[in-house]
Amino acid sequence: MENISHLLQAIQSLSAQLFVFRTTVEPLSMMNSLPPDFEALISDPVFSEMIEECTGLATDLNQFLKPYLKRINQCVRSKKKSDPMVPYAPFIVDEPPVIHTAEPEQLDFKDLIEAQAIRPVKHQSDFSYEGSCPHCGAPNDYLYLNNGKRQYACKVCRKTFTDKIIPRGTTGLYCPHCNHKLSQIKDRKGYIVYVCMNRKCSYYQEKKKLKDTSRNDELLTNSKSYRYRYHYREFKFNFDEIKQYSQELDSKVDLSKIHADQQTLGLILTYYINFGLSARKVSCLMRDIHGIKVSHQTVWNYGEAVAAVIKGMVDNYPYDLSSTQSGDETYVHILGKNNYVFFFSDPLRKFITSYNIFDTRDTKNAVISIWNVIRKYSPIPDDLEFITDANPIYNAAQLFFELNNIEFDLHQVIGVKNNDEVSRKYRPYKQTEERLNRTFKENYYPMNGFNSLKSANTYMVLYVAYFNFLRRHSSLEYKPPVQSDIFDDTDLMPDRWLKLIYESRKYQTAS
* More confident call, 259 vs 3: 259
Residue 56 pLDDT greater than 90, yes or no = no
Which H/E stretch holds residue 411?
A: strand 409-412
Given a contact cutoff of 8 angstroms between Cβ atoms, the answer to whether 143 and 155 are in contact is: yes
* More confident call, 476 vs 56: 476
pLDDT category of residue 316 using cuts at 50, 70 and 90 = very high
Angle subtended at Cα 355 by Cα 407 and Cα 413, rounded to the nearest 5 degrees: 55
Cα 96 versus chain centre, distance: 27
**pLDDT, tens digit (0-9, with 9 covering 90-100), for 330-362:** 999 999 899 999 999 999 999 999 999 999 999
Ranking 4-13, 126-135, 268-277, 423-432 by mean pLDDT, the lowest is 4-13
Give the mean model confidence (pLDDT) for residues 141-149: 78
Give the mean model confidence (pLDDT) for residues 23-38: 68
* More confident call, 97 vs 261: 261
Q: How far apart are CA 444 and CA 462, in angstroms?
A: 12
Residue 83 pLDDT greater than 50, yes or no = no
Contacts of 252 (CB under 8 A, 6+ apart): 301
Give the mean model confidence (pLDDT) for residues 293-316: 94
Give the mean model confidence (pLDDT) for residues 401-428: 89
Q: Please tell me whether residue 78 adopts helix, strand or coil conformation.
A: helix
Which H/E stretch holds residue 388?
A: strand 385-388
pLDDT category of residue 496 using cuts at 50, 70 and 90 = very high
Superfamily of domain 310-510: Ribonuclease H-like superfamily/Ribonuclease H (3.30.420.10)
Residue 86 pLDDT greater than 50, yes or no = no
- Helices within 347-482 (DSSP H only): 363-374, 392-403, 421-444, 453-465
Q: Residue 419's pLDDT is what?
A: 79
Q: Residue 152's pLDDT is what?
A: 84
Residue 479 pLDDT greater than 50, yes or no = yes
Q: Please tell me whether residue 167 adopts helix, strand or coil conformation.
A: coil
Given a contact cutoff of 8 angstroms between Cβ atoms, the answer to whether 156 and 137 are in contact is: no
Of 148, 104, 155, whose CA–CA distance to 133 is shortest? 155
pLDDT category of residue 30 using cuts at 50, 70 and 90 = low
Q: How far apart are CA 504 and CA 82, in angstroms?
A: 55
Q: Report the range out of 35-44, 176-185, 453-462, 478-487 with the highest average pLDDT.
A: 453-462
Contacts of 491 (CB under 8 A, 6+ apart): 499
Which H/E stretch holds residue 174?
A: strand 172-174
Q: Residue 294's pLDDT is what?
A: 94
Any idea where the domains of the chain sit in the sequence? 98-162, 175-236, 310-510
Mean pLDDT, the chain, rounded, equals 83
Q: Residue 511's pLDDT is what?
A: 47
* More confident call, 35 vs 371: 371
Residue 412 pLDDT greater than 50, yes or no = yes
Residue 166 pLDDT greater than 60, yes or no = no
| pTM, rounded to two decimals | 0.69
Give the mean model confidence (pLDDT) for residues 402-408: 92
Q: How far apart are CA 411 and CA 425, in angstroms?
A: 9
Residue 149 pLDDT greater than 70, yes or no = no
Residue 185 pLDDT greater than 90, yes or no = no
Residue 82 pLDDT greater than 60, yes or no = no
Q: Residue 80's pLDDT is what?
A: 45
For residues 321-346, one letter each, b for 16 or more C-beta atoms within 10 angstroms of the residue's C-beta and e for the rest, the string is: beebbbbbbbebebeeeebbbbbbbb
